Amino acid sequence: MRLVVARCSVDYTGRLTAHLPLAPRLLIVKADGSVLVHSDGGSYKPLNWMTPPCTLRSTRRDDDEIEADPDSDWIEQWDVTHDKTGDKLRVRLHEILEDSSHELGEDPGLQKDGVEAHLQALLAENIDTLGEGWSLVRREYGTAIGPVDIMARDADGAAVAIEIKRRGEIDGVEQLTRYLELLNRDPLLAPVRGVFAAQAIKPQARVLAEDRGIDCVTLDYDALRGIDDVDSRLF
């Protein structure tokens, strides 16, 4: 990653045209080829940017070239062209205040509190959240097409396959449907019904699940952790 703090002007041409007049800004060139232009305000969003795949070509002028054209005193110019759309970002650097490069390596990714593994563990420990008399059979119940997040039995002893997502979408419903089709071929388990559980479930996913006879449950992560006492709420 290259970080450049410079007095610069920026012009974008393509599906739209935009101009940033001369001012101090932070320029970021990432290893994936993306180029971002930041100011010292405006939160996290860049003022302008170019996403990959794109090509950056840098032109640097020496003192003689600058003296020959005093009306244009830029010392370095970046021409960034998007490889697919042809959009162009031109950055002219008039004064470079800081220029550094760093190898960040491969990023492990964001680990969010409340991811599916945490939800699965918490729900397994509190399986009676789904109903009085429910019991846990096993987490990561193996099948030929992958593990079911939780296999449980309800108060009547019937088998229930539970698929857990942080955000419930149609893909999750389809995944649980495939599990149920396979599990219901096992005479020792059938009939097996399904529960689609998530912190938030999209309306389309809920409609599809209900159409297939799958129950939908919205999980309260804080309540499962014992942080939020729902009985003590005023509203």
In the prediction, which pLDDT does 119 show? 85
Q: Is the pLDDT of residue 74 over 80?
A: yes
Is residue 34, in this structure, part of any structural domain at all? yes
**Number of domains into which the chain is organized:** 2
In this structure, are 162 and 122 located in the same domain? Answer: yes
In the prediction, which pLDDT does 233 show? 40
Is residue 108, in this structure, part of any structural domain at all? no
Tell me which of 101, 133, 167 is where a domain ends: 101
* Helix pair angle (170-183, 203-211), 10° resolution: 20
Instruction: Please report which confidence band the pLDDT of residue 227 belongs to, taking 50, 70 and 90 as the band edges.
Output: very low
The CATH number covering residue 228 comes to 3.40.1350.10
In this structure, are 31 and 128 located in the same domain? Answer: no
In this structure, are 67 and 122 located in the same domain? Answer: no
Tell me which of 72, 101, 130 is where a domain ends: 101
Least confident of 39-48, 147-156, 184-193: 39-48
Tokens representing 216? 């939908």
Tell me which of 36, 69, 101 is where a domain ends: 101
By residue range, what is the domain housing residue 148?
116-232
In the prediction, which pLDDT does 3 show? 97
Which residue would you say has higher pLDDT here, 70 or 84? 84
Q: Per-residue pLDDT tens for 116-141?
A: 788 888 899 999 989 999 999 999 99
Phi and psi, residue 126, nearest 5°: -125, 50
Q: Per-residue pLDDT tens for 99-113?
A: 999 998 877 655 554
Instruction: Please report which confidence band the pLDDT of residue 18 belongs to, taking 50, 70 and 90 as the band edges.
Output: very high
